[in-house]
Amino acid sequence: MKKLFWRITMTFWILFGVVVVSFTLTFYLNYEKIYSQKLLEIDRDVNKIGTQIDMNIGSYERLLKTEEYKLLTLTEENLKIMESLSDEERNHLFKEGVFIETDSVYESAYLSAVESVNNLLSKNRDLYEDDHRILDFKVVPLLNVEVDESLLDDAFESVQGVRVGENVYLLNEEFEEIDTKRSWTVYKFIENEGKFLGYIRLAVRTIGPETYGLNSDQITGMIYYIGGSLYMDEEPPKDLSSKIMSSNFEETSQLLKDNEYYTNRYISSTKNIKIMYYISNKDLTRSILRETISLFEFSTILLTLLFFFASYTLFIVIIRPCYLLIEYVERCGTGDYSMPTRINSSWKASFLMVRNAYLENERLLKVKDNQSQELEFAWQRALIASQAKTLFLAKVSHELKTPLNAIKGYVQLLKLSIEQPKQRKQLEIIEHSSDILLKHVNELLDFSMIEDGKVKLSIAKINVFQMLSTIKELFFVEMANKGIQFIVKTDESIPDELYGDEGRIKQIIINLVSNAIKFTEKGEIKIDVNLDYQNETDAYLSIKVKDTGKGIAPDKLESIFEAFTQENNTISRRFGGTGLGLSISKRLAEAMGGRLTVESVVDEGSMFTLFLPLSKYLTEEQET
């Protein structure tokens, strides 16, 4: 019982372990899922920023071209107006401030157009900042400067700029007019007839995570490379700052990876701009763990509370009383029946049952001791009676065989000296009756020997084919007189020489055939001998005796092998017999290491099967 409750306790902890393992596995799988989702989100956000930068630079190019077109168009219109005026009208407009006075009419028209465009851009500054994050937008005039694109490229490269379009350059520089370092400058040079007339300058906010409302915990560090030049929104890690400042894009990426940083990159295919996001693996893991834990926080607390509640309840309600009950059972075994204190009322009945059971057991043991003595005396008396019965049967059988043999001998002598048919018939009846009586006496003698455990097996060489031929000759006339077909079929693969007790085997087969003849009125009786199995030392035979007689009722199949038992009393009166034949046959089969079985269908016949092992080599006589 103690083992049972110990197993209950261990089963509970095993179940709890399974729950914990399942919970841990689920936590791990969710962690991996969130980790993958986090990386996908980072990749999505970095690509979103890079794509937006590409789109914005395209928008800046279009804005710059639009303003350049407006400026040149307005310059042409101013030039036409000024050329159509007389000098006096032109000077009047100069004094009124409509046009800017210079030595060249074209320059006056151009500078006047620049002032108009800048005034318009200044008025729309808020609109541009909202729509395009433009901090400053203005035209800076330059006059009569020779066009040299290679010199422009070199100049902008020397100040960490990059060409992003035709006469359009992107420069990473601070915008002094506002308190921010997150700005870029886009320059568009205005060209006309081989000379630069100036440039349009566009100061814009850089594209950072907060620009798009992205999670600042997710995007913590951005590095931009404009052309081959480095620009950072924030200070790099202190331990890597000097190395990053002196490394190119690929080197920086590898450097961060080697120092346990996760990186994600975006490379513009058209603008020569590269973006790298980085975050410490520890920070990334910590962030993912926070999300996973927050997801499992409620379930973890609930599971913990449920476990402690279940543990407490199980311990108080079941486990503790069980262990107390086990201890009480052990104490009761030593004769101590005092009840333990602090027992749950629902368990008191169990403790009382244990105590009452032990008290009742003590009473029964006393009764049993008395009964055991009586049973011992009764068993001894029964044993003596059984031995006396066996001795009586053996002695009577031996005493009866002597006069029966004498009667049979004198009957045979009388048959030789008497020739009258009537008297010879009477002698034959006497001889047949003495044969039957001698057979019964032999059965009683065999049964008494079996009961006494003194069956001897005489092991000798057997030729199965000759043995079956002898049995066939023995019953041939009786079968013919009764009109029953007698068939003997023998498996040709049975070895010619086997060793066993031929007399006992013949006795069993003869008993089975005699029974078949007794209960078969028509049809056939068949002996079928087969080799079931053999190895180097033994051969296993199955000897089947099948008849087409009256059959045996299913509820009588087992009882027919009991001593002095037949299927019913009618059979005993009609066919005679002691009811020992099948019992002796079954016990002889078992004594030789085999077994005897029966199958039967009422009114269709019966089949007795003797499964018998025979040796291929001679062994000593056995007593069973």
**What range defines the domain where residue 405 resides?**
370-454
What's the pLDDT at 566?
A: 55
Looking at the structure, tell me whether residues 201 and 86 fall in a common domain. Answer: yes
Phi then psi for residue 569, to 5 deg, are -70, -30
Classify 261 as helix, strand or coil.
strand
Q: What is the mean pLDDT of residues 592-597?
A: 89
What confidence tens digit (pLDDT) does each residue in 399-420 have? 565 676 667 676 777 767 777 7
- 168 backbone φψ class: left, alpha, beta (φ>0; ψ -120 to 50): beta
Classify 504 as helix, strand or coil.
helix
Domain boundary among 454, 472, 500: 454
**Cα atoms in the 13 Å half-sphere on the side-chain side of 213:** 0
Banded model confidence at residue 448, pLDDT cuts 50, 70, 90: low
Rounded Cα gap, residues 411 and 413, in angstroms: 5
What confidence tens digit (pLDDT) does each residue in 321-379 have? 776 777 767 777 777 767 776 666 666 677 777 777 777 777 777 777 777 777 777 77
β-pairing verdict for 183-192 and 229-232: unpaired
Looking at the structure, tell me whether residues 88 and 206 fall in a common domain. Answer: yes
What's the pLDDT at 624?
A: 42
What's the pLDDT at 573?
A: 42
Looking at the structure, tell me whether residues 178 and 206 fall in a common domain. Answer: yes
**89 is a domain residue:** yes
Question: What pTM, to 2 d.p., does this model score?
Answer: 0.41
**540 is a domain residue:** yes
Looking at the structure, tell me whether residues 466 and 429 fall in a common domain. Answer: no
* Other beta carbons within 10 Å of 3: 8
What is the length of the chain? 624
- Two tokens at 212? 């798009």
What confidence tens digit (pLDDT) does each residue in 60-119 have? 888 888 888 888 888 888 888 888 888 788 788 787 777 787 777 888 888 888 888 888
Looking at the structure, tell me whether residues 265 and 189 fall in a common domain. Answer: yes
Looking at the structure, tell me whether residues 438 and 507 fall in a common domain. Answer: no
**19 is a domain residue:** no
What confidence tens digit (pLDDT) does each residue in 550-580 have? 888 888 877 787 765 555 545 444 444 556 7
Q: What is the mean pLDDT of residues 409-438?
A: 72
**Cα atoms in the 13 Å half-sphere on the side-chain side of 547:** 22
Which is more confidently placed, 93 or 308? Answer: 93
Q: What is the mean pLDDT of residues 532-549?
A: 91
Would you tell me the crossing angle of helices 2-84 and 125-132 to the nearest 10 degrees? Answer: 140
Looking at the structure, tell me whether residues 81 and 201 fall in a common domain. Answer: yes
Looking at the structure, tell me whether residues 476 and 519 fall in a common domain. Answer: yes
CATH number of 435's domain:
1.10.287.130
**355 is a domain residue:** no
Looking at the structure, tell me whether residues 400 and 262 fall in a common domain. Answer: no
**Amino acid sitting at position 27:** F
Q: Where are the strands (E) in 179-267, listed by range?
A: 183-192, 195-205, 221-226, 229-232, 261-267
Going by C-alpha positions, the residue among 204, 168, 158, 162 that lies closest to residue 189 is 168
**14 is a domain residue:** no
* Other beta carbons within 10 Å of 164: 23
- Out of 26-35, 196-205, 423-432, least confident range: 423-432
Looking at the structure, tell me whether residues 506 and 536 fall in a common domain. Answer: yes
Q: Is it the case that residue 595 has pLDDT exceeding 80? A: yes
Going by C-alpha positions, the residue among 443, 477, 472 that lies closest to residue 587 is 443
Phi then psi for residue 3, to 5 deg, are -65, -40
Domain boundary among 228, 261, 279: 279
**112 is a domain residue:** yes
Q: What is the mean pLDDT of the chain?
A: 75
**266 is a domain residue:** yes
Which is more confidently placed, 23 or 622? Answer: 23
**363 is a domain residue:** no
Looking at the structure, tell me whether residues 494 and 576 fall in a common domain. Answer: yes
Banded model confidence at residue 155, pLDDT cuts 50, 70, 90: low
User: How many domains does one find in the chain?
Assistant: 3
- Out of 80-84, 125-129, 500-504, least confident range: 125-129
Classify 225 as helix, strand or coil.
strand
**Amino acid sitting at position 617:** Y
What's the pLDDT at 621?
A: 45
Q: What is the mean pLDDT of residues 269-282?
A: 78
Looking at the structure, tell me whether residues 204 and 217 fall in a common domain. Answer: yes
- Percent of all residues in the chain with a pLDDT value above 70, rounded to a whole number: 70
Domain boundary among 454, 478, 507: 454
